[in-house]
Amino acid sequence: MRLNFIEFAKKEKFAIPQININGLIWIEGILKAAQNLNSPIIIGTTDKNIEFLGGYKFISNTIKNKIQAMNITVPVYIHLDHGLTVEGCKEAVDAGYDSVMFDGSKLSISENIRLTKEVVDYAHEHNVFVEGEVGAIGGVEDGLSGQVRYADIDECLALVKETNLDTLAPALGSVHGKYKGEPNLGFEEMELINENTQVPLVLHGASGISKEDLHRAISLGHAKINFNTEINIAWSNQLRKTLTEDKNLFSPQEIIRPSIEEIQKTSEKIINLCGSNNKSDAITKMYS
């Protein structure tokens, strides 16, 4: 098993951002941001959108080719977000993903453990990391909606111990998509889960969470933080602005280029927020 770069982030008290892509133009913006700020980065693809993106193999190969074409030297990890089935997770592993999340949070804990373990056993044989989830992250994203259900500490412990997973996403009040009202993270539960499980924690639904709360979550063991909505808002606002400002514009490059720049700028903001800027050399050294 490789050294776990997320454990390193946890030890050094920063988080590696996972930024989800919703189309191929996202890749360039995110890679440029990571390279500019010398930051490791995780590119996420949510399972619900895999077909839209072209499939596991296509997306994995495309990101890898883009890394080469752009001469990217910082560590880039390709991650399957909210894997819906064991078969899908295995397919992503075979397609060259670096890590996969199996989201068994809607199942009973025994079924969640059984299927997460099946993914872990397969993924670890191929040097791929696995993230599991307990509780329910609320909100609406990619057509999926749900209510917040706080993670239970005993279920977290059972999932970690019995599956040997690498990272845990305990739902603690965060939501996917836009928050209705103020985010209310369960910091007491977070402290308990962090002390007892020891594995690096993953925070989903980070768009809209304050800098102070994100830093507190990092200090309580979160070493991977997931963003999607914030980038989508920045991208769509810019696209609308470009088209409104010049109603005669029809060149795709002229229309799309400013929105890629917004993806980059927002990714840079996220990297600075997570404190992963200038951390790429230390991680590269771990693997050399």
Among 5, 56, 77, 227, binds ligand 13P (CB under 6 A): 227
Among the listed ranges 123-131, 157-165, 191-199, 202-210, the one in contact with ligand 13P (CB under 6 A) is: 202-210
Per-residue HEC secondary structure of the chain comes to CCCCHHHHHHHCCCCEEEEECCCCHHHHHHHHHHHHCCCCEEEEEEHHHHHHHCCHHHHHHHHHHHHHHCCCCCCEEEEEEEECCHHHHHHHHHCCCCEEEECCCCCCHHHHHHHHHHHHHHHHHCCCEEEEEECECEEEECCEEECCECCCHHHHHHHHHHHCCCEEEECCCCEECCCCCCCCCCHHHHHHHHHHHCCCEEECCCCCCCHHHHHHHHHCCEEEEEECHHHHHHHHHHHHHHHHHCCCCCCHHHHHHHHHHHHHHHHHHHHHHHCCCCCHHHHHHHHC
Among 204, 222, 224, 279, binds ligand 13P (CB under 6 A): 204
Q: Toward ligand 13P, which CB reaches closer, 155 or 230?
A: 230
Q: Toward ligand 13P, which CB reaches closer, 226 or 238?
A: 226
Site for ligand 13P in 98-157 (CB under 6 A): 141
Among 228, 259, 276, 280, binds ligand 13P (CB under 6 A): 228
Nearest 10 degrees: Cα torsion 144, 149, 155, 156: 80
| Phi, psi angles (nearest 5°) of residue 281 | -65, -40
Site for ligand 13P in 3-42 (CB under 6 A): 20
Among the listed ranges 6-14, 115-123, 200-208, 243-251, the one in contact with ligand 13P (CB under 6 A) is: 200-208
Among 39, 112, 116, 229, binds ligand 13P (CB under 6 A): 229
Among 47, 74, 81, 128, binds ligand 13P (CB under 6 A): 81
Among 205, 221, 238, 259, binds ligand 13P (CB under 6 A): 205
Task: Based on the residue annotation, tell me whether 98 is a catalytic residue of this protein.
Answer: no
230 binds ligand 13P (CB under 6 A): yes
Among the listed ranges 52-60, 184-192, 198-206, 234-242, the one in contact with ligand 13P (CB under 6 A) is: 198-206
Nearest alpha-carbon partner for 78 in 46, 54, 52? 46
| Shortest Å distance, C-beta 245 to ligand 13P | 27
Size of residue set near ligand 13P by CB under 6 A: 14
Site for ligand 13P in 206-225 (CB under 6 A): 206-207
Catalytic residue among 47, 81, 166, 213: 81
Q: Toward ligand 13P, which CB reaches closer, 141 or 155?
A: 141
Is 236:33 a contact under the CB 8 Å cutoff?
no
Q: Where does this chain bind ligand 13P (CB under 6 A)?
A: 20, 81, 141, 176-177, 204-207, 226-230
Q: List the catalytic residues.
A: 81
